[in-house]
Amino acid sequence: MNDYFSDRENGPRARTEQVISPAVWAGLVATVQALINSGAFGLRFPERCPDGQAVCGCDTDALAASVIAEMPGFAWPLETMCLVEEGFLLQREPFAPDTLLIMDFIEFIYASVAKPIPGKHHDFFSHHHLTFDQQSGQEEFRSTVNRIFSRNGVAFEMLSTGRIVRVLPPVLGEDLKRTIFRTGDRTLDNMLDECRAKFSDRNPLVRREALERLWDGWERLKSLADPGDKKRSIKIILDATAAEPSLRARMEEEATELNSIGNSHLIRHSEVNQVPVIDVDQVDYLFHRLFAMIQLILRKKGSA
């Protein structure tokens, strides 16, 4: 089912969650377990009928061994609960592995799944011989994963290629997709394209690299009007961006504040007295703030 009453009434939930919760993980595990029970991994990990060697199911031991080998630190059977010590007692609590590890696992499942099609029934062993439709199986799995993500506000989505990408904030995401950078400076264009690609990555560390690269682009942009005098250059750029005096003053305040943020928060430099920006929501905020400034300047320049 894809069309729930609450979605029709209220619209879909905002996709802001960047960590897979135990509840979402439990739903994904239930989906994978149902696929195992149906024999949906028999194309890649076949269990053979003793009489004739036709595929009749999934070799779960082979599946488990492959998962463990390709995802170090992943437990099998899949765990949705863990023991937590509280005083002298051990309590069972909902559990989810690291989000990046879960994403790797989901992509692995996509690459391995295929829709089983029952054929001849083998009376003696009481099983069906199976053939497989990989494309249908993968699409059904992708649809289920995306529905779970959407219903829980998870900011990730699986593409038809099987790759999981981050769902960007609505306004910023549209701007990032449709903006074509033509600054007249190839190095700056490459910087901005690189930070755009990295900001869509599911890994928070890569998204932080996107923020750092965007700040590098900001520094280069400020020097384009007069490479020999950055202060004069940024004045020329801001004059062209806002002619009305009060707004022009606000723009200069914003440019000064952005410089201060970049210099003091471990974005442009690596001194020990700088404060790192780690929180994913703060990274999003700072990226959005600086990108909006750069985009305005480039639009007024006719470069975006």
Taking the alpha carbons of 242, 243, 249, 252 in that order, is the dihedral positive or negative?
A: positive
Strands (E) in 63-186, as ranges, are 81-86, 89-94, 115-122, 127-133, 156-158, 164-166
Nearest to 113 by CA among 140, 74, 150: 140
Contacts of 274 (CB under 8 A, 6+ apart): 264, 265, 266
Cα–Cα distance, 236 to 246 (Å, whole number): 16
Res 8 pLDDT > 90: no
Output the average pLDDT for the chain. Answer: 88
- pLDDT per position as a tens digit, 102-128: 999 999 999 999 999 998 887 777 878
Least confident range from 5-14, 111-120, 216-225: namely 5-14
pTM for the complete prediction?
Answer: 0.78
**What integer pLDDT is reported at residue 126 of this predicted model?**
81
Cα–Cα distance, 74 to 96 (Å, whole number): 11
Q: Where are the domains of the chain?
A: 5-165, 168-301
- pLDDT per position as a tens digit, 33-49: 999 999 999 999 999 98
- pLDDT per position as a tens digit, 61-106: 999 999 999 999 899 999 999 888 777 788 889 999 999 999 999 9
Treating both helix axes as pointing N-terminal to C-terminal, what angle do 230-241 and 204-222 enclose, rounded to 10 degrees? 100
Strands (E) in the chain, as ranges, are 46-48, 55-58, 81-86, 89-94, 115-122, 127-133, 156-158, 164-166
Cα–Cα distance, 156 to 164 (Å, whole number): 7
Mean pLDDT, residues 7-29 = 90
Res 286 pLDDT > 70: yes
Cα–Cα distance, 138 to 160 (Å, whole number): 9
Res 229 pLDDT > 60: yes
